[in-house]
Each structure stands twice: as C-alpha cells, then as structure tokens.
C-alpha cells in the first residue's frame, strides 16, 4: 500500500493497514521520525517508487498549488499495472 501525505489522516490509514500485515510505503513533504516509522511499520519512498510498488494508493494531501496535478502524466505512467483503481 502507498500513502501519499503522511499527516494525521495518512498515519491513521497506516495504523489500519498494519493490521492487514501490508507492506506500507509513504511519501510526504517531511519524513517522520525513525521511531514512528518503526512503530507503524512504514517505509519512506519517493512518489515514483511508491507508485511503481504499490497495489493500492491513497492520497491525503491538502488542496494547494503544490499538490495540484500531483499525480501528473509523468507519474501516472509509473503506476504498477496491477494497481486497484476505484
């Protein structure tokens, strides 16, 4: 599972995914502490790597100029072909 945006909501998603024993990759403007990464069982990744490796991707970013078109054509072409899209 890939989590884009690892604030309060992204971390809550990680807690739930951990219960399903999923490999969890995340990307965010700021990397969280190694202690929190270990506690939640998550690994920091670039957006490109996260999209290539994840079967599920959740987006939890604020709407702003920085996040507008975050998943552009450049990154959409990196997506794992087996990703679940709903």
pLDDT per position as a tens digit, 12-45: 999 999 999 999 999 998 999 999 999 999 999 9
Judged against a pLDDT cut of 90, whether residue 9 lies above it is answered with yes
φ and ψ at 38, to 5 degrees?
Answer: -65, -45
- The predicted-structure confidence for 37-59, as pLDDT tens digits, reads as follows 999 999 999 988 998 898 888 88
Token digits of residue 86:
């709903």
* 3-state DSSP assignment of residue 65: coil
pTM exceeding the 0.85 threshold for the entire prediction: no
């Amino acid at each position: 599972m890939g989590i884009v945006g690892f604030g309060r909501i992204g971390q809550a998603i990680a807690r739930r995914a951990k219960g399903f024993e999923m490999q969890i990759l995340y990307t965010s403007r700021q990397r969280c502490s190694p202690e929190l990464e270990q506690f939640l069982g998550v690994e920091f990744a670039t957006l490109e790597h996260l999209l290539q490796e994840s079967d599920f991707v959740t987006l939890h970013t604020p709407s702003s100029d920085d996040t507008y078109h975050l998943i552009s054509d450049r990154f959409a072409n990196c997506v794992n072909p087996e990703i679940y899209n709903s």
